Amino acid sequence: MTAGGSETAHRIVTAAILVIGDEILSGRTKDKNIGYIAEYCTAIGIDVREVRVVPDVEDDIIAAVRALSDRYDHVFSTGGIGPTHDDITADAMAKAFDVTIDHDPRAVAILTTHYGEANINEARMRMARIPAGADLIDNPVSKAPGFTIRNVHVMAGVPVIMQAMLDAVTATIPTGAKMLSATVPASMGEGRIAAGLGAIQKDFPDVSIGSYPKMLDGGFATDIVLRSREQARLDLAVRAVEGLIAGLLVQPR
């Protein structure tokens, strides 16, 4: 799943998530893919840097694909590759990369085997239309394949199918250094720790430090999350934050 050697240990691989579908923007369908993809990518060493949700509008899809493809190493796209008239993602991807689109013999063979030749109709054949030059993404759940064109991985919107496709995609692409994280709980509000955290952040510019307020036992509390690709630096920053909190706890409010 990962490229070998010391290069992988230090390389940063970036990605964006592109969600396509009117039903997501209307609220009719609650997206379950963004969080899954983001968590999955973090675990294997891919940094998700941006998420976009666009409607089933060809121009909007094309603009988003071109922008994200140019900016990031990978784009994970979900939605719009089914058999109905409003599934326009494949055509938009072809136009985004200025290639033709037609029934792909590989996809046709997969669908024919799955449904049986007598049951192949025009709607199902729509799912065999693949942009020229694209590689197919295996779909062990419902068989209709996704595809990868350049650095854009086009997957189904149905979560269980998308997840299977994501497994197939990430088995074939290089990943980078994994982001490590640690959480330090503080039984106080952000206001008491803000100045100290700011000072620690200046001492550790290579460590991301975020504070997340919450309610605990009827009072304010904060989770401080630290993230770094270097375990030694992460450990030092954690100790600094723990020291800050310990000092504040013995001070009068």
Rounded mean pLDDT, 133-145: 97
pTM of the model: 0.85
95 and 62 in contact (C-beta within 8 Å)?
yes
Question: Which tens digits make up the pLDDT trace of 191-220?
Answer: 999 999 999 999 999 999 999 999 888 889
What pLDDT does 3 receive? Answer: 42
- Is pLDDT of 81 > 60? yes
Question: Which tens digits make up the pLDDT trace of 11-58?
Answer: 899 999 999 999 999 999 999 999 999 999 999 999 999 999 999 999
b (16+ CB within 10 A) / e for 122-158: eebebbbbbbeebeebebeeeebbbbbbbebbbbbbb
**Encoding tokens for residue 155?**
């997957």
| Predicted confidence band of residue 230 (pLDDT cuts 50, 70, 90) | very high
**Encoding tokens for residue 153?**
């991985």
What pLDDT does 217 receive? Answer: 84
136 and 106 in contact (C-beta within 8 Å)?
yes
Torsion of CA 81, 91, 171, 78, to 10 degrees: -50
At 159, which helix (H) or strand (E)?
helix 159-170
**Encoding tokens for residue 25?**
């923007």
162 and 125 in contact (C-beta within 8 Å)?
no
Q: CB-side exposure of 94: number of CA atoms within 13 Å?
A: 15
Nearest alpha-carbon partner for 68 in 82, 87, 54, 55? 54
153 and 75 in contact (C-beta within 8 Å)?
yes
21 phi-psi bin (left φ>0, alpha ψ -120 to 50, beta other): left
Rounded mean pLDDT, 231-245: 97
92 and 61 in contact (C-beta within 8 Å)?
yes
Share of the chain above pLDDT 70, in %: 96
Would you say the C-alpha torsion 234, 236, 242, 248 has a positive or negative sign? negative
What pLDDT does 251 receive? Answer: 80
- Is pLDDT of 1 > 70? no
Question: What is the number of residues in the chain?
Answer: 253
80 and 147 in contact (C-beta within 8 Å)?
no
